[in-house]
Structure 1
Amino acid sequence: MSAPILKFVGVSRVYHSGDEDVRALDEVSFHVDAGELVAVMGPSGSGKSTLLALAGGLDVPTSGSITVGGTEVTTLAPTSLAQLRRDRIGYVFQDFNLISELTAAENVALPRELAGVRPRAARREAIAALAEVGVDHLAHRFPEQMSGGQQQRIAIARALVGERHLVLADEPTGALDSQTGEAVMEVLRARVDAGAAGVLVTHEPRYAGWADRTIFLRDGRVVEGTTSPVPLEQLLRGHS
């Protein structure tokens, strides 16, 4: 069997707030294989966003080991970590993080250009990614000219452009209506089925139902894992 694309082993993250230590994650271990989508659920403050930030190399753990594609990310130099994020990890942020001065196509093409792809080729890839999420007609618009749902789809296209081995999504359907949310999940599911590994943070059981497994967090700890399909509403009632 091939090694997992993403692997956490005993990962903890402690933040210092005055005289108090806040343990956002506490000895979390899990893995995500190629071709697998794992949903992460739990109440507010349970550690979901911290887990995703650590997986994407946007934060470093206080203790434990995190590997992406077999590379130990906690020991990488800042330049190597930035290259790993740019080339192999797609991240859908909850607040979009689009650059207001760039058009939709330019926002999506930017990580490819930073990876050394020629501008014309990067733009072709960007248009293809925009088409994949159904917004290629917005290629020339700036973020301020779009609705929240449209901006979210641009952000998803940016996360999917190029060859991403790991796709991390923080509430990617939060700004979308149900029909568009289902369409976005189809895109994420298709990318995972093509060989990427995916981690989806969501509070919606219907979107977690697209995942192969669901991990539940409470107070920074994994309290239960399950495989789909499962009566997630019933499980959530047990962890509310």
Structure 2
Amino acid sequence: MSHTQEARQTPVLHLENVTRVHGHGAAEVQALRGVDLKVHPGEFVAVMGPSGSGKSTLLTLAGGLDTPSGGQVLVEGVALGGLNRKKLAQVRRRSVGYVFQDYNLIPALTAAENISLPRELDGLSTRAARREALVALEELGIPELADRFPDDMSGGQQQRVAIARALIGDRRLVLADEPTGALDSTTGEAVLAVLRARCDAGAAAMMVTHEARHAAWADRVVFLRDGRMVDESVSQDAASLLVTAAGNALKVDE
């Protein structure tokens, strides 16, 4: 994408000078410090960095699950900080798909019911929502899990159901926190291919990962350290990413 084209497009996600502080006084922790980031339609961004660098905080703010201490977060041009609770919930259901590390599936609902719930809350009929859920399960290669409950699934199966829930409907922004963590390498690559295809179809995605080979699926890799964006690079291949990531890990804060 040229700079001219990029300027004309409204980012799906825009973080403007975002800061997040936890605690007060001596217990204060700056989780994010003045982060500026845009993710455009069709773009897949990977976020890497050491433990405690602010990666998960970045995702929760991007998805409207937390509020920044400073700056603002915009999804499709809408500032999340200016929305009441009902409007914010609508944005999260309609525009944002979130893949959590701990799945967050509802035990009393089947896989298909877990996946279709956000669509039903938006007013879609149960039948239509189930049809969409079955398509999402098929996309992830697990149609046989439709009527199975979370307790009857392996961790990897639950993870794929959670990803299917994040992809159902016309979600313009997909946020994924270590989405391949519970999956074997073959299944993990298949999931990343699905995320890549969703971006190629026009959505935007941001994924936290510690694996350079997974980040190689992205268009761009953003590196965080101590809550700051310290570097970003265009993704080319896993080998070059390993070199870049290693170099960043050795950087000493100025």
TM-score class normalised by the smaller sequence: over 0.9
Question: Which residue does the alignment assign to 1:134?
Answer: 141
Identify which of 18, 23, 28 aligns with 1:11. Answer: 18
2:23 aligns to what SS in structure 1? strand
The CA deviation at 1:161 is: 0.2
CA distance in 2, matches of 1:164, 1:197: 9
Does residue 191 (structure 1) correspond to residue 198 (structure 2)? The answer is yes
The CA deviation at 1:75 is: 1.3
Please give the per-residue CA displacement for 1:92-148, whole angstroms capped at 9, x wherever unaligned.
Answer: 001000000000000001001001100000000000000000111110100010100
Please give the per-residue CA displacement for 1:9-53, whole angstroms capped at 9, x wherever unaligned.
Answer: 100000015632100000000100000000000000000000000
Identify which of 38, 56, 68 aligns with 1:31. Answer: 38
Q: Which ranges of structure 2 fall in alignment gaps of 5 or more residues?
A: 1-7, 250-254
CA distance in 2, matches of 1:61, 1:70: 17
CA distance in 1, matches of 2:109, 2:18: 37
Letter in 2 for 1:22: V
Does residue 167 (structure 1) correspond to residue 174 (structure 2)? The answer is yes
> Which has the higher mean CA deviation after the structures are superposed, 16-25 or 138-147?
16-25
Q: Which ranges of structure 1 fall in alignment gaps of 5 or more residues?
A: none
Question: Which residue does the alignment assign to 2:96?
Answer: 89
* Off by >4 Å, runs of 4+ in structure 1: none
Identify which of 240, 244, 248 aligns with 1:239. Answer: 248
Letter in 2 for 1:234: V
1:116 aligns to what SS in structure 2? coil
Does residue 67 (structure 1) correspond to residue 74 (structure 2)? The answer is yes
CA distance in 2, matches of 1:237, 1:124: 45
2:181 aligns to what SS in structure 1? coil
Does residue 180 (structure 1) correspond to residue 187 (structure 2)? The answer is yes
Q: Percent identity?
A: 60
- Report the TM-score when normalising by structure 2: 0.93
Please give the per-residue CA displacement for 1:164-191, whole angstroms capped at 9, x wherever unaligned.
Answer: 0100000000000100000000000000
- Report the TM-score when normalising by structure 1: 0.98
2:28 aligns to what SS in structure 1? strand
Does residue 148 (structure 1) correspond to residue 160 (structure 2)? The answer is no
